[in-house]
Amino acid sequence: MHVPGLTVVAGKLGMDRVLDEELVQPVGRVRAVPLRAGHEEPAELAPEHAERVEIGARDAVVQVLTVGHQGLLNAITGGQLVVRGDMYVRSGGGAGVGCSPAAGCSVTTNDRIRGSVIAAAPNFMIFHSDTVGGRVRIKGGGGGVQCGSQLFGGPYFTTFEDNAIGGGITVRLMKSCWFGLFRNQVGGSVSVNNNTFADPDADEIQTNVIAGNLSCFGNSPPPQRGDSGGNKNIVAGTVSGQCRKVV
């Protein structure tokens, strides 16, 4: 899938390299190696630096992936992304990871992050049908309490759908248009606190299976089913705060 405004930069992965010469301080770091059958430990290549990165149709393995300030990662493509360590998204950055029919793709790529996903004030985080070995932690960001045209012609939003997450999920202090958690298998606890969304149908938390606790406090709007058509969440631990309405 081609997303307007993104620049392909990972030339060493077999894709064309197109660098915006106007970028004075390119941000975002991808340390990449080619993914080839029969080569479980390929030699590591030098880091790539770019403000916008699109994975493209080729599979790619990275050691640690950092999306820098104002950087963009588009891995909602036909290629599979594997991160052997952690993934970081810095302030003003954003990441789309994983192709699936729910994301408008004809294939499901089952992207994998073996470590954790840590985001500090990102504008958006869109994860579909991925496996995260560690935890997911998002603090702040979201692009503001508005639903204007910001992200490829639409508003900024954050969603995690159909993922397997080994640790917990924490989302707090986000101000955005919309947020959702759907059909995730979560090995830890889920905490959604002090977030504000412009869309009255936002904060949809449905059909998740959570091995730990589920807690929600200080969110506007509060967690809800909305128009998702989803089912109530299955929670092995305790449920507290606003999340009592979604179990």
User: Nearest to residue 135, comparing CAs of 21, 212, 217?
Assistant: 212
User: Which parts of the chain have pLDDT scores under 70?
Assistant: 1-51
Token reading at 108: 């499901």
Q: What is the pLDDT of residue 51?
A: 59
Domain boundaries, the chain: 135-247
Pairing of strands 29-34, 48-49: antiparallel
> What is the DSSP secondary structure assignment for residue 169, as one 8-state letter?
E
| 103 SS3 class | helix
Nearest one of 208, 202, 247 to 226, comparing CA atoms: 202
Instruction: Name the one residue in this structure whose structure tokens are 């969603």.
Output: 159
**Cis amide bond preceding 47, omega within 30:** no
pLDDT at 174: 98
Q: What pTM, to 2 d.p., does this model score? A: 0.81
Distance CA 219, CA 210 (A): 20
